[in-house]
């Protein structure tokens, strides 16, 4: 039996009623998660949408910010993943928690600017674009039925803010947040997996296997979600030494991106190594790296992020200040 199924059976990670309430994440962990995600996103910006072979031909092994060969952006700039994560962070700070109306107003304001081309398009997929249109013209519900990863890629701040809550509570808030733009169960399930993985990662000395298992359980709480795929994929990663590229299929869906995120984490638990694997993988590299960065940054804190990655990140000071405000908003 794969190790993660044993965990689920024996330990009932996170969902056991008698489990002690976890403590709040530290400021270093919240900064590590938000900046870790942003750095991963900006590193993956140069390779997003290219396959592994094209990445190697264009850059060799990517281990730093690069000017992309296929888009008009500068090295160190981040994409839609970070833009949406920061919007959610601002909404959480403003309302001192997830309050639908606050988030809705923020998203509506953003969607108007996006549709009117008052802000640059940082690489949104068709699902998000359609959801922004729905918001602006007042179509309700605005969420689009597509199994994409747009809800999972931005969700880390919810996991951080509600880290001391049971996974069931985190998943309820995730669902409410995700539905504004994404209504497909696979999309919501992927977001639950990442939010709960981030929350569990903030617990002291937590093993990576426990984080992954908790993420899969959270994904499993959504009917029609991605948990069956995650379990099969992880058993392949765990039960062979085959290269990850042969086991995991690159893609842009919640299934593919969260699967690759957990697959890489199962083999690489070091922030720098795991992010490098993600940005060189091919496909939706910025989203894999952003999710991985949010989880390992939450686990290890800001100190795990290489200094040159922090220094080269677009708007690093603003992002760090927002992370600090999120930490303060959660204090009693
Ligand atoms: Mg992106």
CATH number of the domain residue 99 falls in: 1.10.4080.10
Distance CA(316)–CA(86), nearest Å, equals 12
| Distance from the alpha carbon of residue 123 to the mean position of ligand 1, in angstroms | 6
| Distance from the alpha carbon of residue 286 to the mean position of ligand 1, in angstroms | 5
DSSP letter for each residue of 166-211: -HHHHHHHHHHHHTTTB--HHHHHHHHHHHHHHHHHTSTT--HHHH
| Distance from the alpha carbon of residue 64 to the mean position of ligand 1, in angstroms | 17
Q: Average pLDDT of 171-196? A: 97
| Distance from the alpha carbon of residue 293 to the mean position of ligand 1, in angstroms | 14
Average confidence score pLDDT of the chain: 93
| Distance from the alpha carbon of residue 171 to the mean position of ligand 1, in angstroms | 23
Whether the predicted pLDDT of 179 surpasses 70: yes
| Distance from the alpha carbon of residue 124 to the mean position of ligand 1, in angstroms | 7
Instruction: Collapse the DSSP code of 277 into the 3-class scheme (helix H, G, I; strand E, B; otherwise coil) and give the result.
Output: helix
| Distance from the alpha carbon of residue 18 to the mean position of ligand 1, in angstroms | 39
Is 18 among the domain residues?
A: no
Whether the predicted pLDDT of 19 surpasses 80: no
Is 204 among the domain residues?
A: yes
- pLDDT at position 137 is 97
User: What percentage of the chain reaches a pLDDT higher than 70?
Assistant: 94
| Distance from the alpha carbon of residue 332 to the mean position of ligand 1, in angstroms | 34
Is 276 among the domain residues?
A: yes
Is 88 among the domain residues?
A: yes
Whether the predicted pLDDT of 244 surpasses 50: yes
Whether cis (ω within 30° of 0) applies to the bond prior to 141 is yes
- pLDDT at position 20 is 67
Backbone dihedral angles phi then psi of residue 49, each to the nearest 5 degrees: 85, -10
Look at the pTM and tell me if it is higher than 0.85: yes
Structure-token match 């965990």, residue found: 7
Whether the predicted pLDDT of 306 surpasses 50: yes
Backbone dihedral angles phi then psi of residue 148, each to the nearest 5 degrees: -85, 175
Of residues 277 and 6, the one with the higher pLDDT is: 277
| Distance from the alpha carbon of residue 252 to the mean position of ligand 1, in angstroms | 10
Distance CA(270)–CA(177), nearest Å, equals 30
| Distance from the alpha carbon of residue 290 to the mean position of ligand 1, in angstroms | 9
98-132 pLDDT, tens digit per residue, is 999 999 999 999 999 999 999 999 999 999 999 99
- pLDDT at position 143 is 96
| Distance from the alpha carbon of residue 89 to the mean position of ligand 1, in angstroms | 17
Distance CA(170)–CA(159), nearest Å, equals 7
| Distance from the alpha carbon of residue 46 to the mean position of ligand 1, in angstroms | 10
Is 12 among the domain residues?
A: no
If one counts the domains in the chain, the total is 1
| Distance from the alpha carbon of residue 15 to the mean position of ligand 1, in angstroms | 32
Structure tokens at 33: 């998660």
Instruction: Collapse the DSSP code of 144 into the 3-class scheme (helix H, G, I; strand E, B; otherwise coil) and give the result.
Output: strand
| Distance from the alpha carbon of residue 82 to the mean position of ligand 1, in angstroms | 8
Is 8 among the domain residues?
A: no
- pLDDT at position 6 is 35
| Distance from the alpha carbon of residue 324 to the mean position of ligand 1, in angstroms | 24
pLDDT band of residue 1 (cuts 50, 70, 90) is very low
Q: Are the beta carbons of 211 and 192 closer than 8 angstroms?
A: no
pLDDT band of residue 332 (cuts 50, 70, 90) is confident
| Distance from the alpha carbon of residue 45 to the mean position of ligand 1, in angstroms | 7
Whether the predicted pLDDT of 215 surpasses 50: yes
Q: What domain range is 283 assigned to?
A: 24-63+73-330
């Amino acid at each position: 039996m794969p190790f993660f199924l044993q965990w689920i059976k024996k330990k009932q990670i996170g969902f056991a009623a008698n489990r002690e309430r976890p403590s709040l994440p530290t400021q270093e962990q919240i900064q590590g998660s938000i900046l870790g995600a942003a750095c991963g996103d900006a590193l993956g910006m140069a390779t997003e949408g290219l396959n592994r072979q094209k990445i190697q031909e264009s850059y060799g092994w990517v281990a730093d910010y690069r000017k992309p060969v296929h888009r008009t952006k500068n090295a160190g700039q981040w994409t839609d993943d970070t833009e949406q994560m920061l919007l959610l962070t601002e909404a959480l700070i403003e309302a001192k928690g997830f309050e639908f109306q606050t988030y809705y107003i923020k998203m509506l304001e953003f969607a108007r600017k996006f549709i009117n081309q008052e802000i640059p398009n940082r690489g949104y997929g068709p699902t998000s674009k359609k959801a922004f249109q729905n918001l602006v013209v007042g179509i309700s519900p605005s969420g689009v039925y597509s199994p994409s990863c747009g809800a999972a890629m931005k969700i880390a701040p919810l996991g951080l803010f509600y880290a001391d809550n049971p996974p069931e509570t985190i998943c309820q808030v995730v669902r409410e947040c995700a539905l504004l733009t994404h209504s497909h169960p696979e999309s919501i399930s992927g977001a639950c997996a990442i939010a709960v993985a981030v929350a569990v990662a903030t617990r002291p000395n937590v093993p990576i296997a426990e984080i992954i298992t908790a993420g899969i359980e959270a994904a499993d709480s959504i009917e029609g979600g991605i948990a069956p795929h995650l379990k099969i994929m992880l058993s392949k990663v765990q039960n062979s030494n085959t290269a990850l590229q042969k086991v995991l299929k690159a893609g842009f869906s919640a299934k593919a991106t969260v699967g690759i995120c957990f697959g890489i984490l199962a083999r690489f638990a070091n922030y720098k190594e795991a992010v490098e694997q993600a940005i060189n993988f091919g496909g939706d590299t910025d989203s894999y790296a952003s999710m991985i960065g949010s989880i390992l940054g939450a686990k290890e804190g800001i100190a795990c992020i290489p200094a040159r990655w922090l220094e080269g990140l677009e708007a690093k000071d603003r992002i760090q200040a927002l992370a600090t405000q999120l930490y303060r908003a959660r204090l009693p």
